[in-house]
Amino acid sequence: MLLDIKDLSGGYGSKTVLHDINIEVDRGELVGLIGLNGAGKSTTIKHILGLLPVKTGSVRINGLDLTTNETEYRRQVAYIPEQPMLYEQLTLREHLRLMAQGYDVEEAIATERAQHYAERLRMTKQLEWFPSVFSKGMKQKAMILCALVTGSELLIVDEPFVGLDPLAIRELLQIFSELKQDGKGILMSTHILETAERHCNRFVLLHEGHIAAEGTTTALRARYGLQDGTLDDLYVAAIEEAEL
Amino acid sequence: MNSQSLWKERYQAAMTETVKYTRYMANGGLLFTVYFVILYGLVVYGRFLDQLDPSFPGRFVMAALFLILPLYRTSRTFLVEADQVFLLPVLAKLSSFMQQVRAYNAVFGIIRAVIPFLAVVVLYVRTEQTTPLELVLLGVALALFGAAANLSKLEGIAHRTVLLYAFGAALLVIIDMAWMTIVVALLLMVVLHLKRQDHLPLREWIALEQESRDRFYRLANWFVDVPHLSATYKRRRLLSNMVERIPYRAQTTFDYLYVKQFIRSGDGIGLIVRLTLIGAVFMWLASGNELFVALAIPAFAGLTSFQLAPFTKAVDQHLLTRLLPFGNAVQAKRKIIRFAAISQCIVLTLLGFFLSGSIYVVGGAALALVIGEYYARK
């Protein structure tokens, strides 16, 4: 199992947001993490990234725990945040070198990978630019490139489509598909359910810090008795059931 | 909200913030170093004036002041980003607010001009044949240039226009027609008046305020931690290409990141160059006194290292830095502070030997290195 979250409870300070959640992402899987605002999606991501301390339970990536080997743990996971966060003092090319260097990617491979993905996301012209002159979409693409150049086994993606143009969205989904074929795992938090329905293998539906439902679209349809239901319908049904 | 209440509210808020940061700064440890440098400067300058040869070209120093003063211009407008939405309905009724902003910037520009004028005028009267009336006219002309520099930015007038008039005034000082500078200054004020903005240029003035605040925050940041300080970076292509030669290894990731920060930010290499140049000027002014020349080395090394120590803050506080497997940050930071301290020490020591030829310089250099190492390990 690539990502293995077991009985995780956590949150901010004394406030517990997540209650005994279990999430797994296997190699070759794209798992959609969905839920209302404040359901705990971002908190879950922060726990995976080691930004919040785990209260009870465990988070392991590729069998590694953050507390036992932090550097190796971090090298297993790359992150595409919802809000782009780039170093103002580095150009895009320098960001890509920095990321690859930190993740111990061989220099030749990093250069080739950076060029390849920059071309696909139409960012080659921007490689020597500073983030201060990027548009919102360009910043988002830069974050995607930074994550892709690492070649990490697990990709954590938070609302990746915000600010992207339709061509970039299509290309990104194609890249996700290729990464899955290469045996990488992806956990994607999103509100764009139509896209998620078409591209995710499974879904984890969070509600008020608990897992309200999980499984494939087929399994969820069977559970809620909505044979032709879209993910939107299933989402609403799951929320209604959780709030009963 | 009307124009008057907007001005009152914004001005009071700005003053409250300025007082708050000034209090923090007054309690900061660096202030003692600043006091020391100012006192040291006053003593050195006093001795320099005492030994001044009447043939010293004082008029060139005054002319240089006319050129240097308008090089730096800063304007406050007291507007915030949200104003581009919320002030739109009353935009046409803000002429009184604009006048208040102009008055503030003019007064601030005058104050900025008077202080260096007082420093230079004591040198000028010792070397030039002048009259009290001419000195007053010179002072007023310089004060007007100080005001004009700030106002020109406010009115969106090209910097080169102000510099051209300043160049004219400097020439008049050099050819011994200093009293005429007032005419040039008044002409410039007329130009500014004719080209003033009738309608409040909202976006431009908001940007000016942000720029001005950032300058103040950067200064305050020397003494206390300023949250949300936005920094500006320069590409510095040549140095940047040299940094690309840092070995590509996971262990040197922080070296790469910090060195880029160091060369591109005003808190890194820019700070060292500025303080080394100021130190060199101090040493030149004190060149008659071996002890003063030697003391300048640790004094400026201390001032530099103290301010350089937090240069990695912008990187350290960045979320990416916390998320990524970048290696050993402490060692990378120490390397840079040591390198900077040693480089500056070499430059100032060589200059010290050149100016005084005294053995005291070695003691000053040794002390400077100890101070540099202290801040590197801190």
Q: Would residue B119 count as lying in a domain?
A: yes
As for the ipTM of the complex, it is 0.87
Q: Which of B58, B173, B66 is nearest to B123 (CA)?
A: B58
Do B181 and B262 reside in the same domain of the chain? Answer: no
Q: In chain B, how many domains are there?
A: 2
> Distance (Å) from the C-alpha of residue B323 to the closest C-alpha of chain A?
7
Give yes or no for a contact between B174 and B229, defined as CB atoms under 8 angstroms apart: no
> Among A58-62, B153-157, B318-322, B366-370, where is mean pLDDT lowest?
B318-322
Do B137 and B210 reside in the same domain of the chain? Answer: yes
Which band of pLDDT confidence, cut at 50, 70 and 90, is reported for residue B30? low
Do B169 and B60 reside in the same domain of the chain? Answer: yes
Do B118 and B29 reside in the same domain of the chain? Answer: yes
A75 touches chain B (CB under 8 A): yes
> Among A229-238, B217-226, B262-271, where is mean pLDDT lowest?
B217-226
Q: Which CATH class is domain A3-76+153-243?
A: alpha beta
Question: Bridge-partner residues for A5, per DSSP?
Answer: A23, A59
3-state SS of chain A is CCEEEEEEEEEECCEEEEEEEEEEECCCCEEEEEECCCCCHHHHHHHHCCCCCEEEEEEEECCEECCCCHHHHHHCEEEECCCCCCCCCCCHHHHHHHHHHHCCCCHHHHHHHHHHHHHHCCCCCCCCCCHHHCCHHHHHHHHHHHHHHHCCCEEEEECCCCCCCHHHHHHHHHHHHHHHHCCCEEEEECCCHHHHHHHCCEEEEEECCEEEEEECHHHHHHHHCCCCCCHHHHHHHHHHHHHC
Do B30 and B143 reside in the same domain of the chain? Answer: yes
Residue-level pLDDT at B68:
93
A12 touches chain B (CB under 8 A): no
Give yes or no for a contact between B79 and B209, defined as CB atoms under 8 angstroms apart: yes
Each residue of B130-159: b (16+ CB within 10 Å) or e?
Answer: beeebbebbbbbbbbbbbbbbbbbbbebee
Would you say residue B163 has pLDDT above 90? yes
Q: Would residue B315 count as lying in a domain?
A: yes
| pLDDT digits 0-9 by tens, B81-107 | 899 888 888 888 898 999 999 999 999
Range of the domain at B32: 3-219
| pLDDT digits 0-9 by tens, A111-138 | 999 999 999 999 999 999 999 999 999 9
Q: Which of A84, A94, A108, A124 is nearest to B236 (CA)?
A: A94
Residue-level pLDDT at B28:
59
Boundary of a domain, candidates B169, B190, B219: B219
B326 touches chain A (CB under 8 A): yes
Tell if the CB–CB gap between B323 and A130 is shorter than 8 Å.
no
A106 touches chain B (CB under 8 A): no
B260 touches chain A (CB under 8 A): yes
Q: Would residue B182 count as lying in a domain?
A: yes
B228 touches chain A (CB under 8 A): no
Residue-level pLDDT at B9:
92
Q: Would residue B228 count as lying in a domain?
A: no
Q: Would residue B178 count as lying in a domain?
A: yes
A130 touches chain B (CB under 8 A): yes
Chain B contacts of A90, Cβ < 8 Å? 257, 260
Do B43 and B180 reside in the same domain of the chain? Answer: yes
Do B199 and B81 reside in the same domain of the chain? Answer: yes
Q: Would residue B128 count as lying in a domain?
A: yes
Residue-level pLDDT at B228:
61
CA distance B288 to A119: 64
Report the SS3 class of residue B307.
helix
Given B235, B248, B325, which is nearest A75 (Cβ)?
B325
Q: Would residue B229 count as lying in a domain?
A: no
| pLDDT digits 0-9 by tens, B308-350 | 887 888 888 888 888 877 778 889 999 999 999 999 999 999 9
Tell if the CB–CB gap between A102 and B250 is shorter than 8 Å.
yes
CA distance B266 to B39: 26
Percent above pLDDT 90 for chain B: 47
- For chain A, the domains span 3-76+153-243, 87-151
Tell if the CB–CB gap between A90 and B260 is shorter than 8 Å.
yes
Chain A contacts of B233, Cβ < 8 Å? 88-89, 130
Across residues B198-216, what is the average pLDDT? 90
| pLDDT digits 0-9 by tens, B135-147 | 999 999 999 999 9
Interior CA angle at B227 toward B223 and B231, to 5°?
A: 85
B82 touches chain A (CB under 8 A): no
Do B10 and B155 reside in the same domain of the chain? Answer: yes
A147 touches chain B (CB under 8 A): no
Across residues B66-77, what is the average pLDDT? 92
Residue-level pLDDT at A17:
92
Residue-level pLDDT at A116:
97
Residue-level pLDDT at B47:
85
Residues of chain A with pLDDT under 70: none
Segment 134-173 of chain B within 8 Å of chain A by CB: none
Residue-level pLDDT at B32:
67
Boundary of a domain, candidates B191, B219, B247: B219
Boundary of a domain, candidates B168, B186, B219: B219
Chain B contacts of A49, Cβ < 8 Å? 323
Q: Which residue has the higher pLDDT, B28 or B166?
A: B166
Do B106 and B27 reside in the same domain of the chain? Answer: yes
> Among A21-25, B26-30, B192-196, B345-349, where is mean pLDDT lowest?
B26-30
Q: Which of A110, A23, A101, A108 is nearest to A58 (CA)?
A: A23
Which band of pLDDT confidence, cut at 50, 70 and 90, is reported for residue B375? confident
Do B248 and B309 reside in the same domain of the chain? Answer: yes
Given B248, B261, B327, which is nearest A89 (Cβ)?
B261
Which band of pLDDT confidence, cut at 50, 70 and 90, is reported for residue B224? low
Do B205 and B332 reside in the same domain of the chain? Answer: no
Residue-level pLDDT at B217:
84
Each residue of B192-225: b (16+ CB within 10 Å) or e?
Answer: beeeeeeebbbebbbebbebbbbebbbebbbbee
Residue-level pLDDT at B29:
57
Across residues B174-183, what is the average pLDDT? 92
